[in-house]
A and B are shown apart, each in its own frame.
Chain A
Amino acid sequence: MQEYDYNKTHIIDIPLELAMKTENLQVFYGDNHAMHDASLEFPRHRITALIGASGSGKSTYLRCLNRMNDRIATVKGKIMYRGMDINTKNINVYEVRKHISMVFQRPNPFAKSIRENITFALKRNGIKDKNELNKRVEESLKAAALWDEVKDDLDKSALALSGGQAQRLCIARCVAMKPDILLLDEPASALDPISAAKIEDTLMELRENYSIIIVTHNMQQASRIADYTAFFHMGHVLEYDVTEKIFTTPQIKATEDYISGNFG
């Protein structure tokens, strides 16, 4: 693979209201410096895509945003959310994750019924009222475009769902918590094209009410759904701009090579 100049970057500021941003975010796995100085801003109620080859650090970066890397890596730098740096010791990570929720690459429904998958965390957060719970179940499943498929089977085991359905249930599970920001780590990569397309439609709907940050290695997907796109390479963010610009007139050589399929 060709060496690129990591000092040459093109990163824009977002001219909109921000959902969150990072300043000089660095990640270390032991001695391994996995992410260098990532400073990005994420707009509110838009979709931002993080693209790059595997091992470029995009998933690592995403997992920092709601502190899912706490146990496995050292994360330095600032993660600003609502005017606070949430990457500090005295921040309550459990509260952070209620506002910044995450959907993973492989569907991971709980070994419980479909209904309980959604209500489990809600109940633990003090929502006891049955009507309210049922309302949340229906709302969130509708938001994830799953309601029509499962509304008669809410008490069946979620492990019996197909991969695509299970992933949408995982999205519904997050949405039911009414978070502010949704982080998605290659949510469609383990799915067939039809299920993947459904997930994309779902995300476009959710964009109205949620700020979405999605990691994907599928460039078509990024160009279809994202408003802004960041390009990651070897632990560096090299380019960040409006999606259209990234795919039509990239400013950085590495980006250009990547989107034209020269590596990755």
Chain B
Amino acid sequence: MNSKTSNNIATGVIYFLVACVLAILVFLLGYILITGIPHVSWHFLTSSAQSFAAGGGIRDQLFNSMYLLVLTLIISFPIALGSGIYLSEYAPENWITGVIRTAVEVLSSLPSVVVGLFGFLLFVVNFHMGFSILAGAIALTFFNLPLLTRSIEESLQDVSELQREAGLSLGLSRWKTITGIVLPAALPGILTGIILSAGRVFGEAAALIYTAGQSAPTVNYGDWNPMDSASFLNFMRPAETLAVHIWKVNTEGVTPDAAAISSGASAVLIVVILLFNLLARMLGRWLYKRMTATK
């Protein structure tokens, strides 16, 4: 076979492979949206789930997912920010930093089910928290921390060294230089990182089934006292999320319309995550423009 023919064949094969991947994605999204959207109705979004009867909704699961996401970000962002600043700004070049970097890498590559089991062992069992939103939020924090830390570190690293020198040469402390100059300049990147991590957290289930639990007790959406056990804000109640719900109705198989619920719930999940992705892009671009624009 001469080189020209093999060149053409190889190019053809690459085009074919790319087409396959595109087809897979189109199929996935198409399948979820086409089978799912018809099941998404106002009723579906606003009524509670049914275990043994058809026609259940996903109100509580949707709320739980959102609530867990917010709690997770509240806990993980400050820690990730501190760690990201340490790694980018303060970490000296020595073996301790090497060990810490390895630790972060190990944490990010741990299977989420292992992280979930650790959360289960430590908080649900040892600390007697039981299956609770708090335990779930902490497990998700562990899952989220290394990824968020890394993205914050990278955003900070992208800020030119000149900015730091400028701040320091004016007699500002390192800390003020970082928080007042470097951090604002890195903001678009950091926000994009947060929103993308929010998408991951929102769809995560394996870390949650043994921490936040697999049941969604009826809660009172009018009760704003987080200490109250019936309140929707209560930290200590079990809280099945949307992703866990999809897994559960499919594996337990006692709900008659499991397929319909799963496709509806998957569609909602995907739409929310797509929105997160879109939002991340737009916000990043908008902030960047605002910072460099002539007002």
Shortest Cβ distance from B181 into A: residue:
A110
B170 within 8 A of A: yes
Min CB gap B171→A, angstroms:
4
Stretch of B59-67, B160-168, B237-245 lying at the A interface: B160-168
Contact of A97 among B171, B180, B292, B295 (CB under 8 A): B171
B172 within 8 A of A: yes
Q: When the two chains form their complex, are residues A160 and B294 in contact, meaning their CB atoms are under 8 A apart?
A: yes
B291 within 8 A of A: yes
> Smallest CB-CB separation from B161: which chain A residue?
A108
Would you call A155 an interface residue if the criterion is a C-beta within 8 Å of the partner chain's C-beta atoms?
A: yes
Contact between chains at B292 and A159 (CB < 8 Å): yes
In the complex, A81 has a CB within 8 A of chain B: no
Asked if A258 is at the interface (CB within 8 A of a chain B CB), the reply is no
Segment from A11-19, A98-106, A206-214, A245-253 that makes contact with B: A98-106
Q: Contacts A157-B293, A157-B295, A177-B171: A170 and B166 contacting too (C-beta < 8 A)? A: yes
For B160, list chain A residues within 8 Å (CB). Answer: 108
User: A95 to B181, Cβ gap below 8 A?
Assistant: no
Contact of B169 among A97, A106, A110, A153 (CB under 8 A): A97
A170 → chain B, closest Cβ, in Å?
7
Contact between chains at A108 and B162 (CB < 8 Å): yes
What residue of chain A has the Cβ atom nearest to residue B165's Cβ?
Answer: A104
A156 to B166, CA, bound (A): 19
Minimum CB–CB distance for B292 against chain A, Å: 5
- B163 and A121 contact, CB distance less than 8 A: no
Q: Does B139 lie at the interface of the complex (its beta carbon under 8 Å from any beta carbon of A)? A: no
A157 touching B292 by the CB < 8 A rule?
Answer: yes
A156 CA / B292 CA spacing, docked (Å): 9
CA distance A106 to B163 in the complex (A): 10
A111 on the B face (CB < 8 A):
yes
**Residues 216-244 of A contacting B (Cβ, < 8 Å):** none
Which of the listed residues B166, B171, B181, B291 has the most CB atoms from chain A within 10 Å of its own CB? B171
Answer whether residue B176 sits at the interface, using C-beta atoms and an 8 A cutoff: yes
Asked whether A120 lies within 8 Å of B181 as measured between CB atoms, the reply is yes
Shortest A160–chain B CB gap in Å is: 4
Q: Mark B144-182, 1 if CB is under 8 A from A, else 0.
A: 000000000000000010110111111111001000110
Q: CB within 8 Å of B: which of A1-50?
A: none
B170 lies within 8 A of A160 (CB): no
CB atoms of B184 and A112 under 8 A apart: yes
Q: Which residues of A contact B168 (CB under 8 A)?
A: 68, 97
Contact of B170 among A109, A112, A159, A177 (CB under 8 A): A177
Which residues of chain A from 124 to 171 have any CB-CB distance to chain B below 8 Å in the complex?
Answer: 124-125, 153, 155-157, 159-160, 170
Q: Apart from A111-B185, A174-B170, A177-B170, what 7 extra A-B contacts exist at CB < 8 Å?
A: A68-B168, A94-B171, A97-B168, A108-B165, A110-B166, A121-B171, A124-B176
Binding site for A on B (CB under 8 A): 160, 162-163, 165-173, 176, 180-181, 184-185, 291-295
- Sample of 24 A–B contacts (CB below 8 Å): A68-B168, A94-B171, A96-B171, A97-B168, A97-B170, A101-B170, A108-B163, A108-B166, A110-B167, A111-B163, A111-B292, A112-B184, A121-B167, A121-B170, A121-B171, A124-B176, A124-B180, A125-B171, A156-B294, A156-B295, A157-B294, A159-B291, A160-B292, A173-B170
